[in-house]
Amino acid sequence: MQKKTASADELITLILQGIEEVKGHDINLLDLREIENTVCDYFVVCNGTSNTHVNAIVSSIQKTVSKAIQDKPWHVEGSDNSEWVLLDYVNVVAHVFQKQTRDFYDIEGLWGDAKVTAIESSYNQ
């Protein structure tokens, strides 16, 4: 089976589907394209309620992306403690936090120049 190259938009859509599938919370999309010297074009940021929930979100993202476009993250970091797991798909990086860790690191604040889009969930939190 030949792997097809996904556009950033397609990848973002799949990552969001993976998050929605297991009810990830407070989903934001940060567009970094207007900022100089960034490591990628987009961040997708969300949080879960526990280690188990963070792991479920990460697993759901990986399964959704893999099933649709046969792609795996180039790099995964943080899955050992599941407080902040980073999935690096090169031009799109997904950050899955536990709430208190997300509040502490304040990714949206650190990347204050990014265009932030809050993603409405299809379920009630």
Residue 3 lies in a domain: no
Residue 124 lies in a domain: no
Give the DSSP per-residue string, the chain: -PPPPPPHHHHHHHHHHHHHHTT-EEEEEEE-TTSTT-S-SEEEEEEESSHHHHHHHHHHHHHHHHHHH----SEEE-TTT-SEEEEE-SSEEEEEEEHHHHHHH-HHHHTTTSEEEEPPPSS--
Range of the domain at 35: 8-118
Per-residue pLDDT of the chain (125 residues; tens, 9 = 90+): 444 567 999 999 999 999 999 999 999 999 999 999 998 999 999 999 999 999 999 999 999 999 999 999 999 999 999 999 999 999 999 999 999 999 999 999 999 999 999 998 776 55
CATH code where residue 19 lies: 3.30.460.10
Residue 28 lies in a domain: yes
* Predicted structure pTM score: 0.92
Residue 24 lies in a domain: yes
Residue 22 lies in a domain: yes
Query: Is 75 in contact with 25 (CB distance < 8 Å)?
Result: no
Residue 30 lies in a domain: yes
Residue 1 lies in a domain: no
Counted domains in the chain: 1
Residue 72 lies in a domain: yes
